Structure 1
Amino acid sequence: MLRHEFQPGRLVAGTFLALAGIIYVGDAGDAWETPWFVVIPMVIGGLCLAAAVALTARGIRRRRSPTTPPRAHPAPPVGPGPELKP
C-alpha cells in the first residue's frame, strides 16, 4: 500500500458523518428517538470544524515545507556556447 499524506480535515469530516449515520441507524432500529433537527446542525458544524482543521493543517504544512535554497553557482549553458573568433 502506498503511503499517503495525513489529512486531519478529512478525518474530522468522516467522524461527524459516521456519527450522523450511527444516529440515523439507531433511530431506524428503534433504539432511540432522534428529532429531525438534531443531525443537520451536527453535520454542518462538523463540516465547518473539518474546514478549520484542514486550513490550519495546510498553514502548518506550508510553513514547515522546505523552500528551495538559492543556487550558489548558476547552471552552465546547455548546447553549444557562443563561438569565439581567433
Structure 2
Amino acid sequence: MLRHEFQPGRFVAGLFIALTGIVYAGDAGGLWETPWFAVIPLVTGGLCLAAVAGGVASGVRRHKRREQQTARDSTPAPD
C-alpha cells in the first residue's frame, strides 16, 4: 500500500461534513428536530477550521523542508 502524507485540513472538513450528515439523518429518523439553517454554521465553521488546519500543516511542512535543506547544505563535502 502506498503511503501518503496526512492532510489534517481534509480530515477536519470531512469530519464536519459527516457530522452534518449525522445531524440530518437524526432529523430524518425522528430522533430530534433540526432547523434547516443549522447546516450553515456546521459547514462554514468546519470549512474555516479545515482551512486553518491546512494552513498550519502547510507551514509546518515548509519549515521542516527548509530545515532539512539547510542541514543538507551545511554538511561538508566528502574529499
**TM-score normalised by the chain length of structure 2:** 0.83
Q: CA RMSD in A?
A: 1.7
Deviation per CA, 1:40-80: give whole Å up to 9, x if none.
1110010011001000010011001121527x77xxxxxxx
Unaligned runs of 5+ in 1: 74-86
- What is aligned with 1:82? none
- What is aligned with 1:54? 54
Deviation per CA, 1:2-54: give whole Å up to 9, x if none.
11100011110010000000001011111110011111111001001100100
Q: Identity across aligned pairs (percent)?
A: 61
Q: Secondary structure at the match of 1:45?
A: helix
Matching of residue 69 in structure 1 with residue 73 in structure 2: yes
How many pairs were matched up? 73
- What is aligned with 2:30? 30
- What is aligned with 1:40? 40
Give the structure with higher Rg (CA). 1
